[in-house]
A and B are shown apart, each in its own frame.
Chain A
Amino acid sequence: MNAVLWSWRLAVRALLAPLAAVLLVVAIEGGALPAYQAYSVALAATYTVLVLSVGLLAGWAGIWSVGHPALFAIGAYTVAFGSSHGWALEPTVLVAMVLAGGCGAFLGFAGARFSVLYIALLTLAFSLVALEVINRWVDVTGGDQGAAVGELPSLFGGTLAGGGADAVVAAILTAGVVVGIAVLARSTSLRMRMVAAKSHPVVARSVGVAPEAQSALAFGVSGAATGLAGVLLGLITGFVSPETFSLTLGINSVAAAVLGGVGAVAGGVFGGVFLAFAPTLAGLLGIDQLILQGALLILTLLLLPTGVVPSLGALLRTLVRRIRPPSEAVPEPPPATADPPAVGSHTAELEVRDLGVAFGGLQALDGVSLTVRPGEVVAIIGPNGAGKTTLVNALCGLLSGGRTTGSATFAGADLFRVRATRRRRLGIGRTFQHAEVFGELTVAENLLCTSRWVTADRRRAVEALLAQVGLAGLGDRHPDQLPFGPQKRLDLARARAENARLLIMDEPFGGLDSAERGLLAAQIGRVRAAGTSVVIIDHVLEDLFAVADRVVAFDFGRPIGEGTPDQVMADEQVRRSYLGVTTAERLRPLVRAGAEPVLSLTGVTHRYGGVTALDGIDLVVRGGAVLAVVGANGAGKSTLGQILHGSLTPTAGERTVPEPVRSSLVPEGRALFRSLSVRENLEVAGYAAGVKGRELRSRIDDAAEWLPERVRTRLGLPAAALSGGEQQLLAVARALIADPRLVVVDEPALGLAPALVDEVYGRIAGLAEDGVTVVVLEQLLTRALTVAHEVVVLHEGVIGATGSPEDPSFAVRAERAYFGASSTEHPVRP
């Protein structure tokens, strides 16, 4: 939309509420409304400000407060106090707003340290304390006698008397202005940044938004508005008494906000009007007021979870769309023009020296040194657990916990001395594996929220940026209406907004189809041409060849090879880190002849949202054999494992079993209940399988036989105290409690020392000898070849090769399939 037209429409919308207020006042002054109804309208106006404060705070900042009655009370008692001490009107209003806003800001600041749920409980505590103070601090509040609101002289001449007709007019006009300001606030960066901090605190940090500051600011503003509402209440009633500010009002104002719709300005108005007229309505219907409010709250939550106003809005939009269907805009590919060439500021270099990161006893990164020159694209590859994500999180300041050593400098600044939110200002942008766009903001707002002020220039810049990534004309859509590819391009645009000088991309190609990948590679080329440095981490190696100037391979937390893509892929050590080391020892048991299929998949496809994880899988699992599913991280192994196990229903395709089969899944990363003892972990599996009493004890004894000596004799140890290998064996033992005929083991070797890996695999192979069918999901091809009877190679959700390790030609075929078909264009090894 044109920026000028847009500002006009906004101005008109913001003027609607003040205009309505003026009309109401004219009606009252003209005698069209009797005095008692004028009072009801003023009360509705006051409650509108209150409910708006509660609802917008919840909808925009994600803070649910039942403590607003206390802030409301601060305003009301301040005006009572001011009127009895000869204060002028304007300073009284200011004091009330500062006091209530200050309390709000403190609650928001303190609350940001806690989990979101605690803030609600914190406001509850605040409300109770305030009630006690009101009742006991008799000198100021008059205790349960209440306090009268007299006349307040205005600095501009005249007086305003509490309980008078002028107060009614003042309340209605003030509420009109507040609603108008709320409409304007909707399109400010303040609101967008609050929503961003609410929906993705960590991602918000990466675009320079500090969630704590947003929370304090939001609650402060909301508190000040509620203080103002309190002043209005004092003025129109002319009397302030404690029972008004009970906890029930707190719940009722939340209820009214939910009923109207949190986060919608019109919803706040609806809620405020409802709150004021609820007693009348209850009287008309002949039911108790609280029952009416509670029942409506319950019904709203069940039937219209977004509230009355947003639901009506959605209904209207659907109707309009049915009458006038919009043109189905398809994201057009970006034009081929290059970005402006490198400007002077784009000459920053990233230099990492001897970086180490340790989590507890685990050294995730160790002695990493890396330099990225301006306009250079560096790809970092490595198997799962190599430390890639830790590296980018360290660079972006998003590590949670962990001890960091060494240094990283960028553009002359020591990165480890700069907070995450300020690194953005140094020119560091970051994209995320799953895009992580802010779903509650529109496409344009996702980019606008990165700066503090939304100006016409800024809007134009955002339009231009959207056009560059091929999202022109989609600025008003919500990201969830877009496919995954455009979402990833939006994520890229968000990272680039304000001309990032260093772009850090986490698995940019993951989950994209080949057309989208081409678009993305072109985007990366443009970014590089503009002189921006790019660091990419990814598993999908083939895409990196097209964009990377240099590849650094990681394993076990340190670089193991570096060079052009071809050089690195030819490096024996790098290949081994992916494929594994061939051990001479053969672990698999003897093949059983004529094994019957116990499970088969036909045409299985699975999607998560818009991302295709598996595509057209046909697979037969034979009884009593070990089947290995091999693939790089992200190839779709875990999804396939869950479908084989039966706990995940595929989007399309069939899972058929000739006869019902009991199956167990050993999830990736063991997934033990760490706070439970070894025995309790086994008991839980027994409970789940419905095994009790003596049978359970005997099965636990059998499973314990399976565990290493140290664990077998100490079943009371908490699972967290076991070593990695012991935990893996316990996870398998836990799966065996149900006496399964099919066991799916997801990456049993992950994070284990080589000697333990052999032990774990030896035991797993032993299961097959006992007649259990085993499916192993494995990252390393060579390991799969030594342990399995049959190997299926998965590459990006498609089976690339199937065969038996006995077949001498299979290893080469499997390796080719593992790296994807296009790697055949890069013959890296004879």
Chain B
Amino acid sequence: MDHLFLVVVSGIASGAVYGLLGLGLVIIYRATDVVNFALASMATLAVYVALTVVNRGLGVWAGLLAAVLVAVVVGLIVREVLLRPLGTGRLFAALVMTMGVSLVVEATVADVWGTEPRAFPPLVEGRVTIGSAALATQDLVVIGVSAVAMLAVGWLFTRTTLGSAMRAAAESATTAQIIGVPAQKVARIAWALGLGLAALASVLYVPKVGLAPMVLSAPLFRAFAGIFLGGLTSMHGAVIGGVTIGVLENLAASYVSANFRDTFVFVLTVLILLLRPQGLFGTRSFERV
């Protein structure tokens, strides 16, 4: 029982990271129709910069701040210089473009910092024991910080005028334009927000596994599975989907086979999608004549 509890809690902690990444992907996709494959690699770059900050003795929290700043700046540059010139409505060109960006960023990171894994300090050290189970405090911190970030995003989108405008632009870019919502400003805010969340997710995730150039690709794919499950356009779907994937993956690793955890998770996801193509929370869209 204690073991199951441990597995579920650490699954939620991993899932919270996937949820944050997925939330970042969905926010960017809804605002700009870009599936940002480079989200993870840009966040990785940001975490390497953060490690430099931490190693100067400025503390992990300063590192977190640096990571968010770097990710936001890099993300905005990539969007303005590379994606905006592609124009609107070019889903695949944009997806392929972000793939190209991820190749370049990953290779650059490997060139500059090397491929040897490095240690990144957790926000909080130590373990807590609950009954007979010992839990890394960091896991609880990850869950707490992620929950706060998600609630903040929820508050922004449902309780502020800016959030209303962002949801409006996501629902119908055409109508938003007629009303006069500044589309570029909304798009930039969405990119900044998405990259910030990704950087936060990375700083939370990396202490567990060590920092390496490709470290975030696995979480990115699980975040994709999560937004598959939740529906590409649903923000709470991305969070619930990500957490579900995290828990499922940990359960599969513990009780089914540690070797085939991703296989299990992805096959399950695809099966669910065959029954419900729009995802659990997504809206079905029809092709027009």
A534 in the interface, Cβ–Cβ < 8 Å?
no
Whether A436 and B289, one on each chain, are in contact in the complex, defined by CB atoms closer than 8 angstroms, is yes
CA distance A720 to B273 in the complex (A): 27
CA distance A436 to B63 in the complex (A): 55
Stretch at the interface among A265-273, A297-305, A322-330, A615-623: A297-305
**Which chain B residue has the least Cβ–Cβ distance from A506?**
B289
B256 in the interface, Cβ–Cβ < 8 Å?
no
Whether B181 and A688, one on each chain, are in contact in the complex, defined by CB atoms closer than 8 angstroms, is yes
CA distance A115 to B100 in the complex (A): 23
Stretch at the interface among A96-104, A121-129, A184-192, A457-465: A121-129
Whether B100 and A301, one on each chain, are in contact in the complex, defined by CB atoms closer than 8 angstroms, is yes
Whether B289 and A398, one on each chain, are in contact in the complex, defined by CB atoms closer than 8 angstroms, is yes
CA distance A61 to B122 in the complex (A): 47
CA distance A288 to B114 in the complex (A): 13
A294 in the interface, Cβ–Cβ < 8 Å?
yes
B164 in the interface, Cβ–Cβ < 8 Å?
yes
A290 in the interface, Cβ–Cβ < 8 Å?
yes
Q: B289's contact among A432, A681, A696, by CB below 8 Å, is which? A: A432
- What residues on A are CB-neighbors of B286 within 8 Å? 400-401
Whether B172 and A294, one on each chain, are in contact in the complex, defined by CB atoms closer than 8 angstroms, is no
Contact with B along A238-274 (1 / 0, CB 8 A): 0000000001100110110010000000000000000
- What residues on B are CB-neighbors of A738 within 8 Å? 180
Whether A684 and B164, one on each chain, are in contact in the complex, defined by CB atoms closer than 8 angstroms, is yes
Stretch at the interface among B12-20, B85-93, B123-131, B142-150: B85-93
Whether A255 and B100, one on each chain, are in contact in the complex, defined by CB atoms closer than 8 angstroms, is yes
Whether A117 and B167, one on each chain, are in contact in the complex, defined by CB atoms closer than 8 angstroms, is no
Contact with B along A672-702 (1 / 0, CB 8 A): 1111100011011111110010001000000
- What residues on A are CB-neighbors of B266 within 8 Å? 125-126, 128-129
Whether B221 and A258, one on each chain, are in contact in the complex, defined by CB atoms closer than 8 angstroms, is no
Shortest C-beta distance, B8 to chain A (Å), equals 23
CA distance A200 to B288 in the complex (A): 9
Whether B104 and A121, one on each chain, are in contact in the complex, defined by CB atoms closer than 8 angstroms, is no
Given contacts A125-B224, A675-B171, contact A255 B164 (CB under 8 A): no
Of the listed residues B96, B232, B266, the one surrounded by the most CB atoms of chain A closer than 10 A to its CB is B96
CA distance A674 to B273 in the complex (A): 26
- What residues on A are CB-neighbors of B93 within 8 Å? 301, 305
Contact with A along B219-233 (1 / 0, CB 8 A): 001001100100010
Whether A255 and B99, one on each chain, are in contact in the complex, defined by CB atoms closer than 8 angstroms, is yes
B161 in the interface, Cβ–Cβ < 8 Å?
yes
Given contacts A248-B103, A302-B85, contact A128 B180 (CB under 8 A): no
Whether A295 and B104, one on each chain, are in contact in the complex, defined by CB atoms closer than 8 angstroms, is yes
Stretch at the interface among B51-59, B68-76, B105-113, B132-140: B105-113
Contact with A along B264-289 (1 / 0, CB 8 A): 00110110011001000000011111
- What residues on B are CB-neighbors of A222 within 8 Å? none
- What residues on B are CB-neighbors of A684 within 8 Å? 161, 164-165, 168, 176, 179, 181
Given contacts A129-B267, A132-B260, A398-B289, contact A290 B103 (CB under 8 A): yes
A8 in the interface, Cβ–Cβ < 8 Å?
no
**Which chain A residue has the least Cβ–Cβ distance from B86?**
A301
Shortest C-beta distance, A55 to chain B (Å), equals 12
CA distance A664 to B275 in the complex (A): 44
- What residues on B are CB-neighbors of A586 within 8 Å? none
Shortest C-beta distance, B97 to chain A (Å), equals 5
Given contacts A128-B266, A202-B288, contact A298 B176 (CB under 8 A): no
CA distance A133 to B259 in the complex (A): 9
Given contacts A125-B225, A674-B171, contact A298 B180 (CB under 8 A): no
**Interface range for B:** 35 or more
- What residues on A are CB-neighbors of B217 within 8 Å? 247
- What residues on B are CB-neighbors of A110 within 8 Å? 270, 273-274
Whether B107 and A290, one on each chain, are in contact in the complex, defined by CB atoms closer than 8 angstroms, is yes
Q: B175's contact among A671, A683, A696, by CB below 8 Å, is which? A: A671
**Which chain B residue has the least Cβ–Cβ distance from A299?**
B100
Whether A291 and B274, one on each chain, are in contact in the complex, defined by CB atoms closer than 8 angstroms, is no
Main SS class of interface, B: helix
Whether A132 and B262, one on each chain, are in contact in the complex, defined by CB atoms closer than 8 angstroms, is yes
Whether A251 and B167, one on each chain, are in contact in the complex, defined by CB atoms closer than 8 angstroms, is no
Whether A687 and B162, one on each chain, are in contact in the complex, defined by CB atoms closer than 8 angstroms, is yes
A803 in the interface, Cβ–Cβ < 8 Å?
no
CA distance A125 to B270 in the complex (A): 9
- What residues on B are CB-neighbors of A125 within 8 Å? 221, 224-225, 228, 266, 269-270
Given contacts A125-B269, A202-B287, A647-B178, contact A673 B100 (CB under 8 A): no
- What residues on A are CB-neighbors of B162 within 8 Å? 687
**Which chain B residue has the least Cβ–Cβ distance from A252?**
B103
Whether A136 and B260, one on each chain, are in contact in the complex, defined by CB atoms closer than 8 angstroms, is yes
Whether B180 and A689, one on each chain, are in contact in the complex, defined by CB atoms closer than 8 angstroms, is yes
CA distance A118 to B91 in the complex (A): 11
**Which chain B residue has the least Cβ–Cβ distance from A136?**
B259
Whether B167 and A675, one on each chain, are in contact in the complex, defined by CB atoms closer than 8 angstroms, is yes
CA distance A115 to B283 in the complex (A): 11
Whether B262 and A128, one on each chain, are in contact in the complex, defined by CB atoms closer than 8 angstroms, is yes
Whether B165 and A687, one on each chain, are in contact in the complex, defined by CB atoms closer than 8 angstroms, is yes
A734 in the interface, Cβ–Cβ < 8 Å?
yes
A64 in the interface, Cβ–Cβ < 8 Å?
yes
A207 in the interface, Cβ–Cβ < 8 Å?
no
Given contacts A687-B165, A687-B181, contact A255 B270 (CB under 8 A): no
Q: A129's contact among B91, B161, B263, by CB below 8 Å, is which? A: B263
A766 in the interface, Cβ–Cβ < 8 Å?
no
Q: A302's contact among B82, B92, B168, by CB below 8 Å, is which? A: B82
Shortest C-beta distance, B276 to chain A (Å), equals 10
Whether A294 and B232, one on each chain, are in contact in the complex, defined by CB atoms closer than 8 angstroms, is no
Whether A673 and B95, one on each chain, are in contact in the complex, defined by CB atoms closer than 8 angstroms, is no
- What residues on A are CB-neighbors of B107 within 8 Å? 288-291, 294
Shortest C-beta distance, A283 to chain B (Å), equals 15
- What residues on B are CB-neighbors of A251 within 8 Å? 99-100, 102-103
CA distance A117 to B279 in the complex (A): 13
- What residues on B are CB-neighbors of A675 within 8 Å? 167, 171
A76 in the interface, Cβ–Cβ < 8 Å?
no
**Which chain A residue has the least Cβ–Cβ distance from B171?**
A673
- What residues on B are CB-neighbors of A302 within 8 Å? 82, 85-86
- What residues on A are CB-neighbors of B270 within 8 Å? 110, 122, 125
CA distance A489 to B165 in the complex (A): 44
A203 in the interface, Cβ–Cβ < 8 Å?
yes
A320 in the interface, Cβ–Cβ < 8 Å?
no
Whether A686 and B95, one on each chain, are in contact in the complex, defined by CB atoms closer than 8 angstroms, is no
**Which chain B residue has the least Cβ–Cβ distance from A301?**
B97
CA distance A687 to B181 in the complex (A): 7
Whether B285 and A115, one on each chain, are in contact in the complex, defined by CB atoms closer than 8 angstroms, is yes
B182 in the interface, Cβ–Cβ < 8 Å?
yes
Shortest C-beta distance, A221 to chain B (Å), equals 20
**Which chain A residue has the least Cβ–Cβ distance from B33?**
A117
CA distance A136 to B262 in the complex (A): 12
B35 in the interface, Cβ–Cβ < 8 Å?
yes
Whether B99 and A297, one on each chain, are in contact in the complex, defined by CB atoms closer than 8 angstroms, is yes
**Which chain A residue has the least Cβ–Cβ distance from B261?**
A132
CA distance A126 to B266 in the complex (A): 8
List the 5 shortest-distance A-B pairs measured between CB atoms, nearest first: A294-B103, A297-B100, A294-B104, A290-B107, A688-B180
Knowing that A58-B92, A118-B273 are A-B contacts, what are 6 other residue pairs whose CB atoms are under 8 Å apart, sorted by A's residue number? A64-B95, A126-B266, A129-B262, A132-B262, A289-B107, A298-B97
Q: Which A residues contact B (CB, under 8 angstroms)?
A: 58, 64, 66, 110, 113-118, 120-122, 124-126, 128-129, 132-133, 136, 200-203, 247-248, 251-252, 254-255, 258, 288-291, 293-295, 297-298, 301-302, 305, 398, 400-401, 432, 436, 647, 665, 667, 671-676, 680-681, 683-689, 692, 696, 734, 738
A-B contact pairs, 17 of them (CB 8 A): A117-B35, A118-B273, A121-B35, A124-B224, A136-B260, A201-B287, A202-B288, A290-B106, A436-B289, A667-B175, A671-B172, A674-B171, A676-B171, A680-B164, A684-B164, A688-B176, A688-B182
Q: Which B residues contact A (CB, under 8 angstroms)?
A: 35, 82, 85-86, 91-93, 95-97, 99-104, 106-108, 110-111, 161-162, 164-165, 167-168, 171-172, 174-182, 217, 221, 224-225, 228, 232, 259-263, 266-267, 269-270, 273-274, 277, 285-289
